[in-house]
Amino acid sequence: MELRLRKKLVVSGISKSYGNSAVLQNISFDVMEREFLSILGPSGCGKTTLLRILIGLLEPDKGRVQKDGTDITRARPDRRGMGIVFQNYALFENMSVLRNVEYALRFHNVSKTEARERAERMLDAVGLKEHGQKMPRALSGGQQQRVAIARTLVLNPDIVLLDEPISALDVSTRLAMRGELKNLQNAFGTTMIYVTHDQEEAFALSDRIMILDQGSVSQIDTPERIVSHPANEYVQGFVLDNLQSKVDSLTRYIGGKAT
């Protein structure tokens, strides 16, 4: 059965400067419903700035953001139906894991009983059922990041933004978390926008990848198309040449077509 996907997010002509320095230049892209889109680029290329504009923590100088056909460029962050997970999960250290997940719900006028039920279900979904009464510091880095993800998903966002959410974790935890992210996306039907500077991570997870070069879009395409038709020297150099060192996993991913 072929799925007919709708445009979930339409971003048009976003520009942002700090003083004289242009951080984002005329960024346009669409995100399809239930798509896993990665934004890939080196440190300082504008990834976090773009996410902050999408979620409404920052206003663009130019351009607009539409979600489900509605202009949300100036909508309040909590009215956008989006959630964000940061690299340094920012859990409340003085609250139990369960309370961390419940907390946001209480601000959204959810009753105490319902908040407790939803938080418990969410902890179960991320594999932390047994850890609800612990304090965050008693958990491993990977578990803490799962609490941060649970805390975001419990509000039922239909788009989740992830800003290098697993780059601080050790290698084996990173690999395990990748699989879990995909499972959660399937289970909750969310659209995901995933920021990373790691080429291999972007290729392993994404339906499409948007490659940023100093605040401009170099290419937005499927991993296969980027490999077969790199848009320019930058994509060839920053993305594909760096992937060469990890060519084994790439070969597995595209089914042995890499040479």
Ligand X SMILES: Nc1ncnc2c1ncn2[C@@H]1O[C@H](COP(=O)(O)OP(=O)(O)O)[C@@H](O)[C@H]1O
Based on the shown chain and the rule CB under 6 A, indicate whether residue 9 belongs to the binding site for ligand X. Answer: no
Burial of 196 (0-12, 13-18, 19+ CB in 10 A): buried
Minimal distance in Å, beta carbon 38 to ligand X? 13
Of 18, 70, 79, 137, the one binding ligand X by CB under 6 A: 18
Closer CB to Mg ion, 15 or 87, in the complex: 87
- 84: closest CA among 32, 8, 152? 152
Bridge partners of residue 78, in order along the sequence: none
Per partner kind, with CB cut-offs from 5 to 8 A, the member of Mg ion, ligand X, none near residue 46 is: ligand X
- The torsion angles phi and psi of 74, rounded to 5 degrees, stand at -115, 15
Task: Give the residue carrying structure tokens 């649970």.
Answer: 150
Per partner kind, with CB cut-offs from 5 to 8 A, the member of ligand X, Mg ion, none near residue 49 is: ligand X
Residue list 35-74, contact with ligand X (CB under 6 A): 41, 43-49
Task: Please tell me whether residue 243 adopts helix, strand or coil conformation.
Answer: helix
Minimal distance in Å, beta carbon 87 to Mg ion? 8
Per partner kind, with CB cut-offs from 5 to 8 A, the member of Mg ion, ligand X, none near residue 152 is: none
Residue number with the shortest CB distance to Mg ion? 48
CA-CA distance, 229 to 171, in Å (whole number)? 30
Q: What share of the chain is helix, strand, coil (3-state, %, to 5)?
A: 40, 25, 35
* Residues that contact Mg ion, how many (by CB under 5 A): 2
For residues 162 and 192, the answer to whether their CB atoms sit within 8 Å is yes
Minimal distance in Å, beta carbon 172 to ligand X? 25
Of 9, 11, 14, 23, the one binding ligand X by CB under 6 A: 23
Binding site for Mg ion (CB under 5 A): 47-48
